[in-house]
Amino acid sequence: MPHPVIAKGNVAVITGGASGIGLAAATAFARAGMKVCIADVDEARLAEVATKLSSVTAATNVMTSVVDVSRAKNVTELERAVGAHFGGTDLLMNNAGIQPGSTLFGEPDNWQRIIGVNMWGIINGARIFAPNMIARGKAGLIINTGSKQGITTPPGDPAYNVSKAGVKAFTEALQHELRNTKDCHITAHLLIPGFVFTGLTAKGRTEKPAGAWTPEQTVDFMIARLEAGDFYILCPDNDVPRALDEKRMLWAAGDIVENRPPLSRWHPDYADAFAKFVKES
């Protein structure tokens, strides 16, 4: 059985919902009988998705909205529009994200856009939607899409890593706040995808790599772990099992505890030590 919030008649709002994990989630929620609002910056894609979802649910159960989540005003307008159209929000999935690539000393506009969408988009969504979700007095979910790169912060894409590290810290603080708010029945959850084949990760490829999961596999896993009550929804994929993810994350934390150089996993002086650590039971 899915989480009780994922139920017929309840309302789900998904940002970045016109493709990838967001679209897979919207489809799964619609199949469960939920009313769905898909928010995205791609107006043409939104129209296509609305037509596609009509094969899953009634057109009256689908709402679309062109939204730039980095702008609080846009998100405020979205929250009001969902309330007017569907009566309120039961599930908010802050999923919109971009990964155009970044360098440490690259263009500041690129950094600001990545952090604006990936981090501020989630902060805006939670801060603007949560008060009215709490006030309704019903059970609800806020799911924020993070990344393993926000935990192990590998070299190569610093702006993305910074944005997703911020998502992790914010979502932890959000859940702490929610569980200490009187008469609040809303819970927050951090989705941590593995290697998922989407437009974000395709990088010119047209066929899914063997090591990747599909967005649908990721959402199925997410729904199962929501039902189990997980806060950290750490997704494996076809290449990396949970045990290896755990080792990588423990090693990253160990850089501080052991006073190693930052990102020592990629430091030649620590290559053998990391390999030994991974092999240890």
Q: Give the span between the Cα atoms of 262 and 153, in whole angstroms.
A: 10
Q: What is the pLDDT along the chain (281 residues), one digit of tens a residue?
A: 689 999 999 999 999 999 999 999 999 999 999 999 999 999 999 999 999 999 999 999 999 999 999 999 999 999 999 999 999 999 999 999 999 999 999 889 999 999 999 999 999 999 999 999 999 999 999 999 999 999 999 999 999 999 999 999 999 999 999 999 999 999 999 999 999 998 777 677 878 889 999 999 999 999 999 999 999 999 999 999 999 999 999 999 999 999 999 999 999 999 999 999 999 96
Taking the C-alpha atoms of residue 252 and residue 230, their distance in angstroms, rounded to an integer, is 22
Instruction: Please state, in angstroms and rounded to a whole number, the distance separating the CA atoms of residues 144 and 97.
Output: 11
Q: Are residues 70 and 31 in the same domain?
A: yes
Asked if residue 1 belongs to a domain, the reply is: no
Tokens (6 digits) for 152:
């192990």
Note the pTM of the prediction, 2 decimals.
0.96
Pair 170, 271 in one domain: no
Q: Name the 3-class secondary structure at 237.
A: coil
CB 175 within 8 A of CB 142: no
The residues carrying an active-site annotation are: 160
Q: Which long-range contacts (CB under 8 A, 24 or more apart) does 77-82 make?
A: 78/13, 78/37, 78/39, 79/128, 79/129, 79/132, 81/37, 82/11, 82/13, 82/37
Distance CA 3, CA 225 (A): 9
Residue 140 backbone phi and psi in degrees, to 5: -155, 165
Range of the domain at 229: 11-239
Dmax (CA) for the chain in angstroms is: 60
Q: Are residues 133 and 213 in the same domain?
A: yes
Look at residue 113 and tell me if it is in a domain. Answer: yes
Count of domains in the chain? 2
User: What CA–CA distances, in Å, run from 251 to 145, 150, 165, 258, 278?
Assistant: 23, 14, 16, 10, 9
